Amino acid sequence: MKSFCIKTNNKQILSYLLNRIQKIDFENLTYSQNQFKIYENIIIHYQGEKNLEFYEFLSELLEEVIIEFYEEKIIKHLISYNYFYFDEYEKVKILDNAIQMVDSEEYIKAVEEEKVIRQEIKKYVQEHKTMILDGFVYFRLKKYFHCLDELVDMAVNQYIIEKEYTEFINLLKIYIDTKIPEYELLHLIYNSGESILLDENKNMISISENIYQANYLSDISFSSNDYALNTLLTLVPKKIEIHLIDEEDEFIHTLKLIFEQRISICKECNICKTYRLLNSVKMTH
């Protein structure tokens, strides 16, 4: 018979472990719970012959517990320790980013978190009969802490980019509020990343580098639509009617943030239908 004892005084973890063990369909598996000295103990007994499967079960169970009950706490600690100069609001935003990123493909590929945790746990349960959960997490999982440290760095970088983007949008909003509009209305026909500008008489407005007068955009690029954005910022129309031939994307989202109530979206007017038809003809050739 093989036995493994998990020691913790965290009531939520104890409840989680017991619930998980009771639900598992694993032959020849029994458990007991008692308190010895300072810790509550959950002792899992296995009387079968599939030792590797038993170790795999233990490893998976402990991995679930660590991710569920320790991961966010560790991330918070790393943010507070490594990025103490951010205020509390910023730390919360960074934590939100990290939690959203932890299950992303980018993060999983970059750090292989699950592989790191599982291997360390499996090695431990095969060599020991007892685990003090807190001690194992904080003293044995150095590679895991390194993975989460990288995650926090990624979350901070994302926060900084988002913050700079928001600040830049706000600057542009202030700028257009101080400009006298040169047009009552401009039409922007937008299709798959390409922009066409028409005035209120449906005459085409040149979108070219020649009218690139707004130096505040010189170091920042949203997409291939920089010139279209700059034209709108230069002419500052009172209203912008966006004719969407395709779906909204980041560029349209950016325009809506900058120009706010000046923007209206259209998908079914004559301009939309004309350019949708032209686009379909273009695609067939």
Say whether both 100 and 120 belong to one domain. Answer: yes
Say whether both 155 and 192 belong to one domain. Answer: no
The pLDDT value recorded for residue 222 is 47
Q: Which of 142, 172, 202 is the last residue of a domain?
A: 172
Q: Which of 172, 196, 220 is the last residue of a domain?
A: 172
Q: Which of 172, 195, 222 is the last residue of a domain?
A: 172
- Helix (H, G, I), strand (E, B), or coil: what is residue 237? coil
Say whether both 151 and 31 belong to one domain. Answer: yes
What type of residue is 264? S
Say whether both 159 and 37 belong to one domain. Answer: yes
Residue 221: pLDDT over 80: no
Q: Which residue has the higher pLDDT, 215 or 252?
A: 252
Say whether both 8 and 45 belong to one domain. Answer: yes
| Residue listed under structure tokens 């900084």 | 160
Q: How far is C-alpha 202 from the geometric centre of its chain's CA atoms? A: 41
Say whether both 141 and 224 belong to one domain. Answer: no
Looking at the structure of the chain, the number of domains it has is 2
Distances (CA, A) of 247 to 51, 240, 281: 55, 17, 19
Domain that holds residue 132: 2-172
The pLDDT value recorded for residue 23 is 86
Say whether both 124 and 233 belong to one domain. Answer: no
Among 80, 64, 59, 70, residue whose Cα is nearest residue 10 = 70
CB neighbourhood size of 27 (10 A): 9
Say whether both 185 and 51 belong to one domain. Answer: no
pLDDT single digits (tens) 36-81 = 888 999 999 999 888 999 999 999 999 999 999 999 999 999 999 9
pLDDT single digits (tens) 97-152 = 999 998 777 666 665 655 788 889 999 999 999 999 999 999 999 989 998 998 99
The pLDDT value recorded for residue 276 is 86
Query: From CA 284, how far away is CA 256, in angstroms rounded?
Result: 32
| Residue listed under structure tokens 């036995």 | 3
- Helix (H, G, I), strand (E, B), or coil: what is residue 85? coil
Say whether both 209 and 269 belong to one domain. Answer: yes
pTM over 0.85: no
CATH number (domain holding residue 225): 3.30.420
Mean pLDDT (the chain) is 88
Say whether both 156 and 243 belong to one domain. Answer: no
Say whether both 227 and 196 belong to one domain. Answer: yes
**For the chain, how far is it from start to end, CA to CA, in angstroms?**
74
Say whether both 32 and 9 belong to one domain. Answer: yes
